[in-house]
Amino acid sequence: MLDNAPRGTICIEDIEIGMIRSIQKVVTDQDIEMFAEISTDHNPVHLDEEYAQETIFGGRIAHGMLTAGLISAVIGEQLPGHGTVYLGQTLKFLAPVRPGDMVLAEVEVTDIDHSKRRVTMNTRCLVAGKKVLVGDATVLAPSRKFD
């Protein structure tokens, strides 16, 4: 058996239902500004405190997709890791993430189709123990075997 999986990757042969991986990151003003530049989403609710004070959020918030990107980081770096192909993701935004918030992004394996190398995961982001984003992801996991 040849091993062509990237280092640090959990291959489909080793993934088990219930596996969880996570990262934590403080969302900074710089993160929000950089995401606005990259995405071209310059909505003032993200960038202008005075404007954002007058919204339902009562202050600036991070882009929802910036928060969702932390899920992508867990999937692409840890579970399954390098070589993973994202096939789909559902997202439900439950609460805002503000500059300075520590976000915990977690993924948990809920289903595995070994014959198709597909892994389904529950995904979530939390701030101070409160869910701010939930969803499900489906990925194509790397294998130790050549196709």
- The pLDDT tens digits for 28-38 are 999 999 999 99
**Residue 42 belongs to some domain of the structure:** no
**Residue 39 belongs to some domain of the structure:** no
- Write out the DSSP string of the chain: ----PPTT---GGG--TT-EEEEEEEPPHHHHHHHHHHH----HHHH-HHHHHTSTTSS----HHHHHHHHHHHHHHTSS-TT-EEEEE--EE-S---TTPEEEEEEEEEEEETTTTEEEEEEEEEETTEEEEEEEEEEE---SS--
Kindly tell me if the per-residue pLDDT of 7 is higher than 70: no
**Residue 50 belongs to some domain of the structure:** no
Find the CATH number of the domain harbouring 128.
3.10.129.10
Domain containing residue 104 = 12-28+62-140
Q: What percent of the chain has pLDDT over 70?
A: 93
Q: What pLDDT is recorded for position 146? A: 54
**Residue 104 belongs to some domain of the structure:** yes
**Residue 57 belongs to some domain of the structure:** no
Number of domains in the chain: 1
**Residue 103 belongs to some domain of the structure:** yes
**Residue 51 belongs to some domain of the structure:** no
Kindly tell me if the per-residue pLDDT of 4 is higher than 60: no
